[in-house]
Amino acid sequence: MLGGGGLVAANVYASAADGTWGGDSGPDATGQVRSAGMATIDCPDVGSRLTAVPDGARADVDRELARLDQQIAAAYQQLQASAESVRQDPTAADGPIMNPLKEQRSATIERIAVAIDQVGDRPEGLESLAACTLRPAQDDTGGDTGNAGESSAPPADGAQQGAGQGQNGAGQAGNGPVASDYADITAVQPNVPNQPQQADASRGTFTSECGVNANGLFNSDNVIVAPGVSNGAHHFHDYIGNQSNNAFASDDDLADAKTSCVDQGDKSTYYWPVLRLQNGKQERDAGAPGGGTEGNAGQIVTAKQVTLTFVGNPRGKVTAMPRLLRIITGDAKAFVNGPTNANASWSCTGFEDRQLKDKYPLCPSGSDVVRTFRFQSCWDGRNIDSANHRTHVAFAGPDGSCPEGFQAIPQLVQRIVYDVAAPSLDDGGRTVPLFAVDSFPEQLHKPVTDHGDFINVFDEDLMREMVDCINSGRTCGPRGGDDSGATTAPSPSGDTGATDAPGTGTGGATADPATSAPAEPAPASSDSTQEPRTYTTTSPANTTKDDKPAKQDGRTKQDSEGKQTAPAKADKAASTGPSDSGAGEVGQATQTPADGQAAQSPAAQAQPPAAQTEPQAVQGGLAETGAHLWPAAIGTLLALSGVVMLLRARRLRY
């Protein structure tokens, strides 16, 4: 039984759509995607099949698509409540869960078809998408990675023990993550190739600095996918830039909003699922839709650094983005949909030449977790959105070419850095908590579901300035750009030593390369040195542990040799490390550590006591200072008493 949700967790091999993966979550010879985790519900994604929706039907269709998500979320909650009986007999879910879900979806899909038929041509084949599949719990022996002809990093000693405990723990809310969702970044081979620049390439970069959401702007809406629907995302988002983004924000609301960006001409909205520490803490959303009631539990972590960089095209010039262009990169439902639209990219500072897409990285001491999104950089030249929110934009090819009829636009490269420790997988995250992104309930917090959203609300003059900067090969931004280079892997600390590799379930991780590495040095970034903040912190002041203003100057402190250094932090579960340049778009590769290689497992290193899983923001202050001063004062008094006694003894002797 699980704490928190009180549910039984087991493993599941989930089939999905076409695509290629590696590691223990990769496709087997039959093309199915296998991934350790709990039982879940797999429903066809109706929204992705709708490539054309007339404007007159769009509001009704968006509302009904959101209803489909609500139905799946409710059914998954029923599945969790019946986990033990379903584990023993998967058919036990048919009558109370799966059959009613199919009936609900059939009625909703029919309303979608009718809404479109009233103003256009009725879509065909939608009714076949009503039935969902229960992916029941299965035993995970850990012996077969499920890859055909692929090589993966084998688990080191103790990996199976860590995986089993993590899966039994199944996260704070009972729906993940599990130990096999993590991979030691040091065991991954470099997989980010350099993309050649052609003679006419646009080599410039433009940076926007918009902070790290220190003022705590969150909601579980998604104005792109589910406008006008509260809790349309079923998970919470971090927002930076535009301060008026919610489900009911109109284009005029976004245009008239305040912005957190240094350059007030950038009112664009940038948002992504929050990252949480599953440390037992309950945020203000613990009993709210999109939060704890839908399996998104734990302490929300504020990013240490966010970098927003617009880069050029390796083949030619770029053209301006249209105002209010909407782009979603990645797929929030990739765990059941398959990797076709997945674009997650996880790494660690100092190791960003190694990218993972279906694993969370276990970073060594001195290195931070990094999420990187490289957005689509080709536009169809006509539409600012599309029915499935994808077909109006596209990724450029390896040579920078856009599909026929599309034109190159500046590519947003979004890099988010977190100061979080590698979780203790051997005890299911009890000593050092697990971390994971928020997700739809049935997506089980899988790292492959990571995604980013962007709406362009740049002032048109500033957009023209961006395009000119990129096409002319300059480095631009609110502070004139930055010449920071990529960091190298951190040197091992003195107390590292040889340790066991982390428990990663069935074995190796997907080493997911980018198709291109940034051609220019990493630009300025928005910085935060504050401790992880809880959801209830709404003050816009970005302060550090000692209540001093955090640096927001877009620069990382450098030592005398020009290398980036991290401030020392006492009693922290994770030490901060150097920032690294953003990595490229995701592809496929596998990793095979050399024989005998001692992979330094961050999870297997000496961990702090369980008390260290408390929110670090409550540490420090007067109480901590007094706790250190009293022992020192008492020691001083005892020393003085000893001196007095010695002098008196000498006088008596003489």
Q: Are 235 and 219 in contact (CB under 8 A)?
A: no
Strands 218-219 vs 205-208: parallel, antiparallel or unpaired? unpaired
Read off the pLDDT of residues 275-297 as tens digits, 9 standing for 90 and up: 999 998 988 888 899 999 899 99
pLDDT score recorded for residue 21: 35
- pTM assigned to the model: 0.67
Give the count of beta carbons closer than 10 Å to the beta carbon of residue 456: 22
- Report which of 354, 341, 329 is spatially closest to residue 411, judged by C-alpha positions: 329
pLDDT above 80: residue 404: yes
Task: Give 210's contacts (C-beta < 8 A, 6+ positions apart).
Answer: 240, 241, 259, 260, 261, 262, 266, 270, 306, 308, 526
Q: Are 153 and 502 in contact (CB under 8 A)?
A: no
pLDDT above 60: residue 566: no
pLDDT above 70: residue 47: yes
- Taking the C-alpha atoms of residue 251 and residue 123, their distance in angstroms, rounded to an integer, is 29
Give me the DSSP letters along 175-201: S---GGGEEEGGGSPP--PPPPPPTT-
Give the chain's length.
Answer: 654
Instruction: Provide the pLDDT confidence category of residue 481 given band limits of 50, 70 and 90.
Output: low
Regarding predicted confidence, which is higher, 106 or 15?
106
- Taking the C-alpha atoms of residue 446 and residue 23, their distance in angstroms, rounded to an integer, is 14
pLDDT above 60: residue 607: no
Strands 275-278 vs 434-437: parallel, antiparallel or unpaired? antiparallel
pLDDT above 80: residue 447: yes
Read off the pLDDT of residues 120-148 as tens digits, 9 standing for 90 and up: 889 889 999 999 999 876 544 333 333 32
Checking phi first, is residue 326 left (phi over 0); if not, alpha (psi -120 to 50) or beta? beta
pLDDT score recorded for residue 561: 37
Q: Which residue has the tokens 């009936």?
A: 103
- Taking the C-alpha atoms of residue 224 and residue 232, their distance in angstroms, rounded to an integer, is 10
Tell me the mean pLDDT in the region 606-632: 36
Token pair, residue 76, equals 């998954």
Give me the DSSP letters along 44-61: --HHHH-----HHHHHHH
pLDDT score recorded for residue 438: 95
Read off the pLDDT of residues 321-349 as tens digits, 9 standing for 90 and up: 999 999 999 999 999 999 999 998 999 99
Instruction: Provide the pLDDT confidence category of residue 633 given band limits of 50, 70 and 90.
Output: low
pLDDT score recorded for residue 646: 64
Q: Are 527 and 553 in contact (CB under 8 A)?
A: yes
Read off the pLDDT of residues 214-237 as tens digits, 9 standing for 90 and up: 999 999 999 999 999 999 999 999
